[in-house]
Amino acid sequence: MNKAHIWLRAETKPDEQRTALTPKGAKKLIEAGFKVTVECSSQNIFNQELYRQVDVDLVPQGSWVEAPKEAIILGLKELPEDNFPLIHQHIYFAHAYKDQAGWQALLSRFKRGGGELFDLEYLVDTQQRRIAAFGYWAGFAGGALSVLAWANQQLSIDPPLADISSYQDKQQLLDVLELAISKAITNAENAPPPKSKPKLLVIGAKGRSGKGAADLAKALCLEVLEWDMAETKKGGPFVEINQADILINCVLINQDLPPFITSELLSQEDRKLSVIVDVSCDPYGSYNPLPIYQQCTTFKAPCLRIDHSKVLDLIAIDHLPSLLPKESSEDYGEQLLTHLLTLDDKSQGVWPTALALFMSKTYTI
């Protein structure tokens, strides 16, 4: 029996350089007998020549719409907006199961075309834990931006971050951060230099994103306090937060708990805190542990000024791993590959649960 045909479509979301399938992953699929087609893309962090070298079929961007019906269309972010029926099986983050904008129109396209969706967010193991996630690199990137913002604050750069773009790799980012810290400590022209490097407090340090944030701090030899359930069980607000220079929240709360911080807490005169990064980034939810902001920030405008009198900036970007598309794609792709290799039998593994969820959602339309 022939193996499945996996078709990697080009991402079209602006500035999205990540991919669900790296050249290394494509090679392993081909070696296992799968047919792999890859769309050419100027956005993909991996040059198309790297895919060519592992003998994939390279095709023009957007040609998935004319792919054989049996091809499984693999992507990462949203499909381009359109209204034609979807006839294929698709694997990607559809953001259509929590009443997000346009969810009914999207699922109606699947229903009309007879296609099926295996949403990456809902590929879970028997413990309902995602089998692949970008969490580690979200935390790492969030930590990196917090340090860069802190350093620029010391130099009276306002805003401390603007028009962020991705880095070629982790080492390039670390080099930039080390230089920024050095300048902040020794070359501040418009403000007294700080006495020491910044101290970070990571809440949710035992999770994927928390570990990434802590590892960023350690890579820069910065002091980091790693909090998790034991440190937060007493309930917030936590006055200790004010004594850190940087707070990184990596906890996604799904129940009603006292907030970690409040405006009243942040108004205290002894506050050292000047940068907050909300990696979990859920300002629209009712359980937001940082109820001091109501909207996400972006790569173009990363910082929201919370306090002007005694500077406090907040970063809440919902696609942080895009800062390091190479490492985040390699990590995510390796996690996902194990399950892509089982696509010949979608009656087992992570696929039945994802399909059942899709069917239940489309049934309501």
Closest to 137 in 3D by CA, of 306, 334, 297, 313: 334
Q: What are phi and psi of 182, to 5 degrees?
A: -60, -45
Distance CA 313, CA 365 (A): 42
Is residue 175 packed enough to be buried (19+ CB in 10 Å), middle (13-18) or exposed (0-12)? exposed
| Helix, strand, coil share of the chain (percent; to 5) | 35, 15, 50
Is residue 82 packed enough to be buried (19+ CB in 10 Å), middle (13-18) or exposed (0-12)? exposed
Distance CA 238, CA 76 (A): 37
**From the candidates 77, 111, 206, 218, which is the catalytic residue?**
77
Q: What are phi and psi of 116, to 5 degrees?
A: -135, 150
Q: Please provide the DSSP assignment of 12-64 as one string.
A: -STT----SS-HHHHHHHHHTT-EEEEE--SS-SS-HHHHHTTT-EEE-TTGG
Q: Tokens for 67, please give them.
A: 């792919």
**From the candidates 3, 35, 95, 346, which is the catalytic residue?**
95
Answer yes or no: are the C-beta atoms of 78 and 93 closer than 8 Å. Answer: yes
Q: Which residue has the tokens 């719409």?
A: 65
Coil vs helix vs strand at 91:
strand
User: Known catalytic residue: 77?
Assistant: yes
Q: Which parts of the chain fold into alpha helices (H)?
A: 23-31, 48-52, 103-113, 135-154, 170-186, 208-219, 229-232, 263-266, 325-340, 351-363
User: Known catalytic residue: 308?
Assistant: no
Peptide bond into 198 cis (omega under 30): no
Active-site amino acid positions: 77, 95
